[in-house]
Amino acid sequence: MENDLSYHVEEAARAEEEVSVLKAYVEDIKRKVSDMVVEANTDNAELNKLITENTKLKHRLAILSIAIAEEQMQSKPTISDSSKMESITDILHQLFHTAICAAFPDITDPPVVIAVAASNPKFGDYQCNSAMPIANIYKQSGKKVTPRNLAQKILDNLPSHPMVEKCEIAGPGFINIFLNRDYAVKKLQAIFQNGVQPPTVERKKIIIDFSSPNIAKEMHVGHLRSTIIGETIARLLEFLNFEVHRINHIGDWGTQFGMLIAHLQDRFPDHLEKMPPISDLQSFYKEAKERFDEDEEFKKRAYDSVVKLQSFEPKHIKAWKLICDVSRKEFQKIYDRLDITLKERGESFYQTRTEKIVKELEEAGFLENDDGRKIMWGDESTTVPFTIVKSDGGFTYDSSDMAAIKHRLQEEKADWVIYVVDSGQATHFQILFACAKKAGILDPKKHRVDFVGFGVVLGEDKKKFKTRSGDSIRLVDLLDKGLEKALDKLKEKGRDKVLTPDELKRAQESVAYGCIKYADLSHNRNHEYIFSFDKMLEDKGNTAVYLLYAFTRIRSIARTANFTPEKIKELSKKENISLEHEKEWKLGKVLLRFPDEILKTLNDLYPHHICEYVYEIATTFTEFYDSCYCVEKDSSGDIVKVNYGRILLAEATAMIMEKCFHILGLKPVEKM
């Protein structure tokens, strides 16, 4: 049995090594492909000379930047040492890049492959797997070298850094990197004085367009996804100290308003003096639509109303505002409950700007006549054009988005615009970005634009999420159902007997809204996901309930030892976080990854990375807590010993989890 186990452990280790080798080969193949592209374009001696020159310069630059970093490290130890957690991967990348460039100056852009080491402590904490692909590069040019020798050459050129304790060469040429624990203690310790700080990034102005429901139509689960994902991305960006503008691009303009206004005039003739009691705008919309389809005379009046509204006739504008207000109030109820902040700037805002941009595009010769429509083509990557003007002369979703992107990039001078919209609209945004580039509005060298798409929400029957009667689900009803289910869950655990009514209510809301948000965020946003209260309310696995409980438990450890957060802050001035025990070190290393996880999410805007990370923190904490006493009690329950270093480690864990919760919109409670 034991033999069996050790065989499997060895097998696993071998498999892990193999994975690393394969990863390194993949990197190498990628390089070769790009080299081939370069070669194909380079039979030009001049260009070759420039490339060599460029390589030398890059190399020189890397050496200089490391020298500067080392210099800073030595001259101002207090600032760079203690004030911030840093991205470990970035530092390692920089160090190894310098080493590799210095060791192999004859290789252009050498591969720098850094990875978190597998869980076996023998592999170190991180790994540099560059030696194998570099050996391959040499092999290509007829030079025979062994990766192990190359690895040694890399280490000979590696600048020293307080973060790196030692490096070891293993297997065919892996470099195992061991982190310095004093450095780790210092970085984690800084949390108590400065709070959990974000990694440093260049400040940018960002506009994020999310939620964006349509007036008079229901706000459906798709909009709920956009709202939840958008809010989290906005919180992440704010945490990183960007200037963030949260924009609700609501659909508040268009031909449907013609029939709504005409219907309003008939049903509530005195609507201009008295607020009409429309409680359900959707049935109001249905009635209007029925008349529009059946009654020719009504249809004519509806068209008349559109024309009047679009020429800003005051009475029509007033009626339009009334209708928007009814919807707006409904949307706001959802936003309040889910703690969402948004600034409304709907399609109507861009009307005069749309007129202007259409004229500009026309004058610049970008518009083509297509059966009376005016269309604009993007680039070769797009196969459908934008409809800029309809054959009846009206503007479209496409034209108002052209006006909006121009306003955002040129008037508002945003550096980065993010659109959080369902994946069904991917093509629309692909064309939008292509047309904006063509028209000189979007400059890829200066601006970043992202379409953050997401898949559909399915019911438990794996079909489109609907009520049993086949109607689409109203979001307010969904949130109410969440509250009801969350309360059932808490009662099932007997929490209603321990918590005060107030505490119970707070726990109920935290669980209900938390589980709805978390179920959404924890799935890769590109995939569809199945909406199931039973699943999301499970207290095992990667769910909000599990995490909220884990968090409350961690905070209660210090509380039972009579440590308030203030007392812990005081304690941290005298005592150090403990990272000696194997499980303490494991947890510490997960915590140190915080900046890397944040930067990864910033890079690709996939919030599920943060969910996976916070789940890993919680499970690693459990492992630590199972084998390390924080507070020792005797048989009568009296405290006999408190391990201060572990109380600090538990608090650092809680603080980092809390920051992740904030980004994910989860609200932990003291008791649940």
Ligand X SMILES: NC(=[NH2+])NCCC[C@H](N)C(=O)O
Interface residue list for ligand X (CB under 6 A): 209, 212-214, 249, 251, 401, 404, 419, 421
**Least CB distance from residue 500 to ligand X, whole Å?**
42
**Least CB distance from residue 404 to ligand X, whole Å?**
6
Chain residue at closest Cβ approach to ligand X: 212
Which position has the token pair 């496409």? 398
The side-by-side arrangement of strands in the sheet containing 368-370 is 368-370, 373-376, 386-389
Residue with Cβ nearer ligand X (401 or 584): 401
Residues 652 and 576 sit within 8 Å (Cβ to Cβ): no
Encoded tokens for 592: 């140190």
**Least CB distance from residue 251 to ligand X, whole Å?**
4
Encoded tokens for 642: 């408190």
**Least CB distance from residue 588 to ligand X, whole Å?**
43
Q: For residues 578 and 181, what is the distance between their CA atoms, to the nearest angstrom?
A: 10
Q: For residues 434 and 444, what is the distance between their CA atoms, to the nearest angstrom?
A: 10
Residues 84 and 193 sit within 8 Å (Cβ to Cβ): no
SS (H, E, C) 467-511: CCCCCECCHHHHHHHHHHHHHHHHHHCCHHHCCCHHHHHHHHHHH
Provide the residue type at 153 as one letter.
K
Residue with Cβ nearer ligand X (251 or 588): 251
Closest CA to 319 of 270, 356, 358: 270
Residue with Cβ nearer ligand X (27 or 401): 401
The side-by-side arrangement of strands in the sheet containing 114-116 is 114-116, 126-128, 174-179, 164-170
**Least CB distance from residue 365 to ligand X, whole Å?**
26
Strand, coil or helix: what is 12?
Answer: helix
Residue with Cβ nearer ligand X (247 or 628): 247
Which position has the token pair 């861009």? 350
Residue with Cβ nearer ligand X (234 or 557): 234
**Least CB distance from residue 421 to ligand X, whole Å?**
5
Q: For residues 233 and 325, what is the distance between their CA atoms, to the nearest angstrom?
A: 27
Residue with Cβ nearer ligand X (211 or 572): 211
**Least CB distance from residue 306 to ligand X, whole Å?**
18
Vertex 255 angle, CA 252 and 260, to 5°: 75
Residue with Cβ nearer ligand X (316 or 407): 407
**Least CB distance from residue 378 to ligand X, whole Å?**
16
**Least CB distance from residue 320 to ligand X, whole Å?**
17
Residue with Cβ nearer ligand X (225 or 249): 249
Residue with Cβ nearer ligand X (282 or 576): 282
Residue 365 CB: number of other CB atoms within 10 A?
A: 7
**Least CB distance from residue 286 to ligand X, whole Å?**
18
Q: For residues 517 and 554, what is the distance between their CA atoms, to the nearest angstrom?
A: 22
Encoded tokens for 419: 């659109």
Residue with Cβ nearer ligand X (155 or 216): 216
**Least CB distance from residue 419 to ligand X, whole Å?**
6
Residue with Cβ nearer ligand X (125 or 209): 209
Cβ-defined contacts of 359-366 (< 8 Å, 24+): 360/439, 361/388, 361/402, 361/439, 364/439, 366/435, 366/438, 366/439
Those residues whose C-beta lies under 8 Å from the C-beta of residue 433, and which sit 6 or more positions away, are 378, 442, 449, 451
Residue 93, Cβ density class (10 Å: 0-12 exposed, 13-18 middle, ≥19 buried): middle
Residue with Cβ nearer ligand X (251 or 258): 251
**Least CB distance from residue 211 to ligand X, whole Å?**
8
